[in-house]
Amino acid sequence: MGRKLVSVQISSELFLELANYLQEFGDERDPAEVVEGALASWLAVARGETSAGDGPAPGFQWKQLFLPEGTELKMQYRGHYAFAKVVGDAVLYDGRPMSPNQFAAEVAGTARNAWRDLWLRLPGQRYWKNAAFIRSDQLRGPRPEPAPAFRPHDAVAAPAVMAQSLRNALALIEKAASRRQGKLERRTDILPDD
């Protein structure tokens, strides 16, 4: 017997914005799954099972860009594709830790502009994106306010953490909506029957 599900009402606008955001970034998860995951994370923090201060998530810090664990790196050089992956706090290529710049130089045999030459696929994403594009997109994006410190069993902090989480989600949704503005919409002409 499967899990029993209940419905929680959110505005259709918010749900569609989330669905469009996930589609735009190649995330194939169902929006309901993302909402359920966000609520489960909030409950874990509220119960004191985890906290924002537990330490940094594993991944590799590449100048301004953080590559979470599981990020894949790809480079094409002279018809050959080479792949590396972020494992723990290191970028591994052929089992050896190296920086993205070292990876690009190793593949090409000479110094390269890693921002221009590397393509990244972040965890949960379907499509590869150029590293320079991801970096510039991140630098342009809104900077969410830091989450308030959470103290387990603090009746005041739990709503503040949830409110900040929702503000962050809305900032991401607004960013996705602003990207869609200005794009042309394809429509078909409807001719009357004669």
Query: Each residue of 145-189: pLDDT tens digit?
Result: 565 555 555 555 566 667 777 777 777 777 766 666 555 555 555
**pLDDT of 194 over the 60 cut:** no
Any idea which of 31-40, 59-68, 70-79 has the lowest mean pLDDT?
31-40
Rounded Cα–Cα distance for residues 179 and 68 (Å): 24
Residue type, 46: A
48 to 1, 168, 181: CA distances (angstroms): 31, 21, 41
Summarize the confidence of residues 100-128 as an average pLDDT: 93
Summarize the confidence of residues 127-155 as an average pLDDT: 72
Residue 91 host element (H or E) = strand 90-93
Predicted confidence at residue 186, as pLDDT, reads 52
Q: What is the pTM of this model?
A: 0.49
Burial of 34 (0-12, 13-18, 19+ CB in 10 A): middle
Residue type, 80: H
Any idea which of 54-68, 105-119, 131-145 has the lowest mean pLDDT?
131-145
Rounded Cα–Cα distance for residues 2 and 151 (Å): 35
**pLDDT of 25 over the 90 cut:** no
Predicted confidence at residue 124, as pLDDT, reads 85
